[in-house]
Structure 1
Amino acid sequence: MILIIDDVYGSLEELERFTNAVHRWEATEIEQLPECMKLCFRVLSDITKETAREIQMEKGWSHDQVQPHLQKVWAEFCKALFVEAKWYNRGHTPSLQEYLTNAWISSSGTVLSVHSFFSIASEPSEEMINFAKKNHDLVYNISLIIRLCNDLGTSVAEQERGDAASSIACCMREMNVSEEAARKHVKVMIGKAWKKINGHCFTQSPMLQLCVNINTNMARVALNLYHNRDGFGVQDRENKRQILSLLVEPFKLD
């Protein structure tokens, strides 16, 4: 669903209406949109409601504890994508800080984090309910790594296509440095984010450790997928080899 929403195409006015519809979760907001965008909204709305119902039935959370949180992260995600669409439409290259403030949300890390949290939380408890509030820094740095790793792997192709600016382009313009120097700076930011994430890995109670591990694994996946390449958008032999080794081929016992 993240990929579908990320690829929604339309005029700036249409995208604004779509974003407002997701923010309010009202179908009346999409009446003037093309049928393809109406379909995207309806599917997103249905999946969000269905996910909340399944969590309610399987985990014991109430409807009011789940669905508003799912709707909130989807609305924030769409809003961040709309900001990027406006930058692209205006040919605007933001400052690095302006970019990062939006990019950690458009990375979809918050959407993944909230859904994973509710899917593994076995039962409601005060500690579990307060997890997200107390671990904003963890979610931020994981989401930041997802975005920065993506930029390292895809920025060249995106620049050739004329896409919106990446962290690489923002660094180059703001610091007046080469692409190589900008990439080094982004890697330093990734390293600092990892240090902050590691701090969370050793300060959680056993009950919350699984939540931390799953969220941290998201950053690990991004690091692996985009390590010196676009391992997500471009299927290559290395990706295929890793998937086969992990999921298909048997372990060799010496």
Structure 2
Amino acid sequence: MYGTLDELNLFTDVVQRWDVNAIEQLPDYMKICFLCRHYSINKIAFDILKEQGFHIIPYLKKADELKRGDVPKSIQCYMHETGASEAKARDHIRFLIGETWKKMNKERVADSPFSETFIGVAISLARMAQWMYQYGDGLGIENRETKDRVLSLLVQPIPFMQISSPYL
């Protein structure tokens, strides 16, 4: 989650170039992150190309090329656009999140033109985003809730138990 400015600039450069060979310049922990990201994106692109006939890699590359900057948060945007108070804006954004989860869960069980892999990744990204930002900026600002969640998810996870039952 953290790196030196030089490491992060190098990582950003490798990601923007979309070059697996360039990972030799990265520290080991960033190589793992890059390869996981690269594999996941290419797996999704492969499934979509195979099942839908759409080649999405050029669009994903273009998205990586966009410059990152400080963007207004959804609550701030809503307040600015409507003149709503912060409390009303927060309630509205919570409502939108809830409605979006309803739609995503409905689509998850419906017949879909998208692969199960794509749907699973989309759901996981939404979960991750909500999980990271539920108590504020869980990525940029270190806080106890995020640290506890990372520990419980990655370091001390609940062990997976396979259930053996004649009814399953």
Match of 2:133 among 223, 226, 235: 226
Give the equivalent residue in structure 2 for 1:182.
89
Aligned pair 1:69/2:41, yes or no?
no
Greater helix share, structure number? 1
- Determine if the alignment matches structure 1 residue 209 to structure 2 residue 107: no
Partner in structure 2 of residue 44 of structure 1 = 16
| TM-superposed deviation, 1:43 | 5.2
Match of 1:143 in 2: none
Q: 1:184 to 1:78 in 2, by over 3 A?
A: farther
Unmatched segments (≥5 aa) in structure 2: 23-37, 160-168
- Structure 1, unmatched stretches of 5+, are 9-35, 86-162
Aligned residue in 1 for 2:33: none
SS in 2 for 1:191: helix
Residue 220 of structure 1, CA deviation: 0.8
Contact 2:75 2:89 (C-alpha < 8 Å) held by counterparts: yes
1-side partners of 2:157 and 2:76: how far apart? 43
**Residue aligning to 2:154:** 247
Does the 8 A contact of 2:16 with 2:64 survive in 1? no
Q: How large is the Cα RMSD of the aligned pairs?
A: 4.0
Instruction: Answer yes or no: is the 8 Å Cα contact 2:132–2:138 preserved in 1.
Output: yes
Whether the 8 Å contact between 1:48 and 1:71 is mirrored in structure 2 is no
Aligned 1:10-21 pairs, distance under 5 A: none
Q: 1:193 to 1:77 in 2, by over 3 A?
A: farther
Give the secondary structure class of the aligned counterpart of 1:232. Answer: coil
**Cα pair 2:15 2:64 within 8 Å, conserved:** no
> Percent identity of the aligned residues?
27
- Confirm or deny: 8 A CA contact 1:168 1:182 kept in the other structure: yes
Matches within 5 A, 1:91-102: none
**AA partner of residue 61 (structure 2):** W
Q: Which segments of structure 1 move beyond 4 Å, counting only runs of 4 or more? A: 48-52, 59-62
TM-score by length of 2: 0.57
Query: Quick check: 68-77 or 210-219, which moved more?
Result: 68-77
Contact 1:172–1:182 (CA under 8 A) maintained in structure 2: yes
* Pairs aligned (count): 129
Q: Please tell me whether the aligned partners of residues 16 and 65 of structure 2 are also in contact (alpha carbons under 8 angstroms).
A: no
Residues 184-205 of structure 1, C-alpha deviations (whole Å, 9 max, x = no match): 1111111221121112110147
